[in-house]
Structure 1
């Protein structure tokens, strides 16, 4: 990030917010910043990849050259590959099939080369295999298959290897695999693909590796929507630590967990300059994303959408149907994002729920069901049973219990992709689509939009922002400012600061009566309303309300069903300034009426305007009743004769401080 430019922008933006009525605030409650500032695992090309110069005692020494005659199947045996290039013959299916507990070590400069002929390097399901200090390159694994640990054997330790320039995935993973200190570079599809038939991968460690340049075959453009690219991909993994890695320059997401993953820790990684999201957590559960640095991610993916006019918020972190689910055993029952630095990515964090994507729906293209119901029970999620509990809840991923706190979000649009359009970049997202299908879906309409925003315990708080952030809430057409994001309608980012200040929530309505119009005020009975120029409380305009008959009089708003933005249970301060215009002003009641979305009046709160001959403020603080979403008001009074009048000015309805 250009720090001088960013600092200037922050100072400028802080000035704008202060002028706009924002109040200075203490910095967000800070936890110790432990995110990496330099690559934690600059592995590729380093001396950490050099193996022992001599063979361990008792090892089988494997000379450079054609090793097709070597028996690699012996259990509990160490194989030492001497310096030079090693090949496995010319058969596409020539491969190493290790025995249980076997170890494969490379001398400095030992290369296992697939010659663009062999599909796989290490295969079958032996347990307890160790592979260290080899360069493994030139293998041609088919799409969705892998070169090393092709069959996802359990208990493998893969350390200090260079796995590069292969097709498919450089490395597959099984249960209790330890993947440490490797360079996984320029592979055709993934650096790592963690998938095993039967969904039995547990206790996976991916620590201190460098993932760079993977997906050289650009599979998302070859097969649009395949969901099959990135630095690393996880499927139905139950327990993984992804820590201290440098994940950069991959042609797709950096980290992608897809379909019923659970109990992940993603910590201490530097994730930068990946073409798509830094972290993509999709239809999965329970993760801690902590103390990472994410910078310059998703520029190509974001600009591609912008070029098409697609307003979807492309986030550095994308939480798509990601559930914090306490019913599943894990180190957390939340989707927790904390202590991270997000610096000049295309966007921030997008939490999304596809209203039409649930078990047994045509929109759930994987054919999987939730971990709560189980893959074998997909057919249970059908009409009419899905409309009732427990299936109503358990047949879908909701995007719930998301907790985003104590992060730093830096954004300077001039530094993103050479300058990015802020109608598309610099967005946070908390949104869904309008549910449309299938016909028997109980989630149609705005059901999921309401759920993700108001009912799913999704919370941003205590974060620090710099730059012109915007928030896409409820649906893609609703792009709002920080002031509205923190206001009661959404109630987000309590304790957070934006360029050093806390924005003031906007009023539901403010009226200074400067225009000549009197709308939406209209006589109800025995009264008239006119605009007045001069003798105002503020500015030059006010409204005058005059008694037309010696009896009861009233003026009401004609904006039925009232002003929007009311949040039930929130306190609001209603205030205006008034004074006598023509003697003698009677006692007037300002009737504040709280309505539900259908327009039904739920409660009326009176504010008395006693006779005053100079401008005087009248105010009341009220808590909106249950079900309230709108507000309007009337003025009522009784006069003993025709003619008395009063003026009002500077009327406001805003959240109470």
Structure 2
């Protein structure tokens, strides 16, 4: 009998799993456990007791759909006939076992190997190759049957996805290689995939048909791809050399453990966790990823921080049940990838926005409840919070980040590579969006409990923060403006937080932003400086009050309220007789309102003298500027200042 049928076309997936308590672990390399070509793929030389023996050759006349039956495929090549839809449609509880060298060959004619919705199917020790599933469809478990066990198989050289997955599937010890689109595509209509285990497999060379370039922006590739899976353990896999991302969880996934994997040499991101919830990414070695996609961005002048681990609208969310309520990334070794970790939130991407192309809503509102997130209700709570994925509760700690630009094949311009990032874009649309402007930029950086801490860095790391235009040093990253990576080391030490402002007046252009306010003249002076060769001279232009102020309203940014700052400068008389001068340090909020003024007196000194003070920025402060005010009985007296500095205390 030739068991031939039209395959059911299926997409989707989702539900929960439990896991052990999460403990921080020191980053240590994960060794490659090669599966492809290993003896672990060799099946038994003799059939199990009671098995139906399937001879090599054309099996189109063999009944392969009996329930609770074990089929033993003898050594040699097995085919299913010449019909496009010739396929195996197992019965519930059926088992398929291959002898050493047993190959199930689709002959580049048959679309699918194993299909339909039987439960409890087991497939072991077969080489499954040459099937031509269409784009977004799969060869093994095409219809995402539940309770399947797929172990110790070689699934290679097929079009589409090598295999699909359903609920409580175990996919273990397989070689999944050189398939046209995905290695694994875990997707099921109705979002009902739960309890998925993907362990100890080798995924390599997948996406041979380069679908991301065939359909730009399709988001349709990966060594393994997960859609709306609720509970998955991805452990002990070697994911390498795939032509796209290594591990990609896209759209309303939840409760993932990604642990003890070696993820290396993939053309794009190592791990991509997108509009999804609650994951532990722990004790993985992730190296040499995103060289191709990073170089492609650089060639176009695109500075977006291509990453080893990319979090895009990923939420730690306690309202969604999982083994963790965070996005926790710990104990990993990230080595010589194009970039480090990028945590990104697209301000325009939320439920019911044109920028959210999947058509899904959040798990809080309900995946199919998109219409609820409309104006005007979305502008108020609870929908304002519930209608978007925020990138929040991200905890990145006890990882090792090693980066050597010279190790990146083809070169790596440092304006594009070696970056960590915590950023968003300026919100622009749709017109009714309540998240326009800097709302999401402020949220992701300052309001969403996103924290790097206790990590180890080696190499010339840089950081992109708030938006694409801000590329900062480690000192600024750990400084008071952002307060990241407490307890972390950089090349064995801790960089000092940078000054808010430092000015030494070494050139004439450095008189700016100083400007006469009233009754004063300004001049750059060479020679006789406190440090270097330049200073700034302030002269009384009238026989009454005089003042100089900064013209960079609303002042210098980066001040953190509640932080203690040391302010200092050096001054001396330039033309007698120097009057008493008051240096007024003004703490401002973001709108420019002066919240407090702290005054430091500059009494007459003919030799260079330091004036200094230590002040705590008041609540609401984000900026600082200053003025100099004095009275003189005649025009002409002058004084010099040099080496002005305002920096966090102890820096």
Q: What is the TM-score normalised by the length of structure 2?
A: 0.92
- Larger displacement relative to structure 2 (642-651 or 186-195): 642-651
1:651 equivalent in structure 2: 644
1:178 equivalent in structure 2: 170
Q: Secondary structure at the match of 2:343?
A: strand
Question: Using the alignment, how far apart are the partners of 1:298 and 1:400 within structure 2?
Answer: 24
Q: How does 1:51-200 map to 2 (within 5 A)?
A: 51-200=43-192
Aligned-pair CA distance for 1:584: 5.9
- Larger displacement relative to structure 2 (153-162 or 92-101): 92-101
C-alpha contact 2:334 2:402 (8 A) present in aligned 1? yes
The 3 A distance-change label for structure 1 pair 216 and 515 is closer
Aligned-pair CA distance for 1:629: 2.5
Aligned-pair CA distance for 1:539: 2.5
Question: Using the alignment, how far apart are the partners of 2:576 and 2:371 within structure 1?
Answer: 76
Q: Secondary structure at the match of 1:501?
A: coil
Question: Using the alignment, how far apart are the partners of 1:82 and 1:53 within structure 2?
Answer: 9
- The one of 539, 552, 560 equivalent to 2:532 is 539
- Larger displacement relative to structure 2 (87-96 or 513-522): 513-522
Q: Quick check: 1:595 aligned with 2:588?
A: yes
The 3 A distance-change label for structure 1 pair 515 and 311 is closer
2:598 equivalent in structure 1: 605
Q: How does 1:519-538 map to 2 (within 5 A)?
A: 519-538=512-531
Q: Secondary structure at the match of 1:224?
A: coil
- Larger displacement relative to structure 2 (172-181 or 545-554): 545-554
- Larger displacement relative to structure 2 (191-200 or 620-629): 620-629
Q: How does 1:271-350 map to 2 (within 5 A)?
A: 271-350=263-342
- Larger displacement relative to structure 2 (601-610 or 239-248): 601-610
Deviations along 1:516-571, one digit per CA (max 9) or x if unpaired, are 46443344445555444444322333334455666554332233322233233332
Aligned-pair CA distance for 1:293: 1.0
The 3 A distance-change label for structure 1 pair 275 and 514 is closer
The 3 A distance-change label for structure 1 pair 580 and 180 is same
2:366 equivalent in structure 1: 374
Aligned-pair CA distance for 1:582: 5.6
- The one of 192, 206, 209 equivalent to 1:214 is 206
Q: Quick check: 1:625 aligned with 2:618?
A: yes
Question: Using the alignment, how far apart are the partners of 2:532 and 2:291 within structure 1?
Answer: 47
Gaps of 5+ in 1: 1-29
Question: Using the alignment, how far apart are the partners of 2:315 and 2:161 within structure 1?
Answer: 28
Aligned-pair CA distance for 1:138: 1.2
- The one of 621, 628, 645 equivalent to 1:635 is 628
Aligned-pair CA distance for 1:68: 2.0
Question: Using the alignment, how far apart are the partners of 2:570 and 2:419 within structure 1?
Answer: 39
Q: Quick check: 1:477 aligned with 2:459?
A: no
Question: Using the alignment, how far apart are the partners of 1:319 and 1:537 within structure 2?
Answer: 49
The 3 A distance-change label for structure 1 pair 275 and 516 is closer
- The one of 234, 239, 248 equivalent to 1:256 is 248
Deviations along 1:425-447, one digit per CA (max 9) or x if unpaired, are 22222222222211111111222
Q: Quick check: 1:569 aligned with 2:573?
A: no
- Larger displacement relative to structure 2 (202-211 or 410-419): 410-419
Question: Using the alignment, how far apart are the partners of 1:531 and 1:215 within structure 2?
Answer: 63
Aligned-pair CA distance for 1:498: 2.3
- Larger displacement relative to structure 2 (123-132 or 499-508): 499-508
Deviations along 1:228-266, one digit per CA (max 9) or x if unpaired, are 111100000001110110011111111000000001111
Deviations along 1:136-191, one digit per CA (max 9) or x if unpaired, are 11111111111111111111111101111111111111111111100001111111
1:27 equivalent in structure 2: none
- Larger displacement relative to structure 2 (485-494 or 605-614): 605-614
1:12 equivalent in structure 2: none
Question: Using the alignment, how far apart are the partners of 2:308 and 2:143 within structure 1?
Answer: 32
The 3 A distance-change label for structure 1 pair 198 and 31 is closer
Q: Quick check: 1:615 aligned with 2:580?
A: no
Question: Using the alignment, how far apart are the partners of 1:565 and 1:491 within structure 2?
Answer: 11
Q: Secondary structure at the match of 1:375?
A: coil
C-alpha contact 2:27 2:398 (8 A) present in aligned 1? no
Question: Using the alignment, how far apart are the partners of 2:618 and 2:449 within structure 1?
Answer: 21
C-alpha contact 1:34 1:268 (8 A) present in aligned 2? no
2:13 equivalent in structure 1: none
Aligned-pair CA distance for 1:34: 5.3
2:376 equivalent in structure 1: 384
Question: Using the alignment, how far apart are the partners of 2:559 and 2:408 within structure 1?
Answer: 37
Aligned-pair CA distance for 1:292: 0.9
Q: Secondary structure at the match of 2:233?
A: strand
- Larger displacement relative to structure 2 (450-459 or 520-529): 520-529
Question: Using the alignment, how far apart are the partners of 2:27 and 2:42 within structure 1?
Answer: 30
Question: Using the alignment, how far apart are the partners of 1:301 and 1:516 within structure 2?
Answer: 44
Gaps of 5+ in 2: 1-22
Question: Using the alignment, how far apart are the partners of 1:274 and 1:363 within structure 2?
Answer: 27
Q: How does 1:411-430 map to 2 (within 5 A)?
A: 411-430=403-422
1:401 equivalent in structure 2: 393
Q: What is the TM-score normalised by the length of structure 1?
A: 0.91
Deviations along 1:343-363, one digit per CA (max 9) or x if unpaired, are 111111111111111111111
Deviations along 1:194-238, one digit per CA (max 9) or x if unpaired, are 001000101111000000111111111111111111110000000
1:559 equivalent in structure 2: 552
C-alpha contact 1:36 1:269 (8 A) present in aligned 2? no
Question: Using the alignment, how far apart are the partners of 2:244 and 2:520 within structure 1?
Answer: 67
C-alpha contact 1:538 1:650 (8 A) present in aligned 2? yes
Question: Using the alignment, how far apart are the partners of 1:533 and 1:222 within structure 2?
Answer: 63
Aligned-pair CA distance for 1:31: 6.3
2:9 equivalent in structure 1: none
Aligned-pair CA distance for 1:44: 0.4
C-alpha contact 2:25 2:330 (8 A) present in aligned 1? no
Deviations along 1:357-385, one digit per CA (max 9) or x if unpaired, are 11111111110111111122100101000
Q: How does 1:229-244 map to 2 (within 5 A)?
A: 229-244=221-236
Question: Using the alignment, how far apart are the partners of 1:268 and 1:97 within structure 2?
Answer: 35
Aligned-pair CA distance for 1:298: 1.1
- The one of 494, 502, 507 equivalent to 1:502 is 494
- The one of 506, 515, 530 equivalent to 1:514 is 506
- The one of 401, 426, 437 equivalent to 2:429 is 437
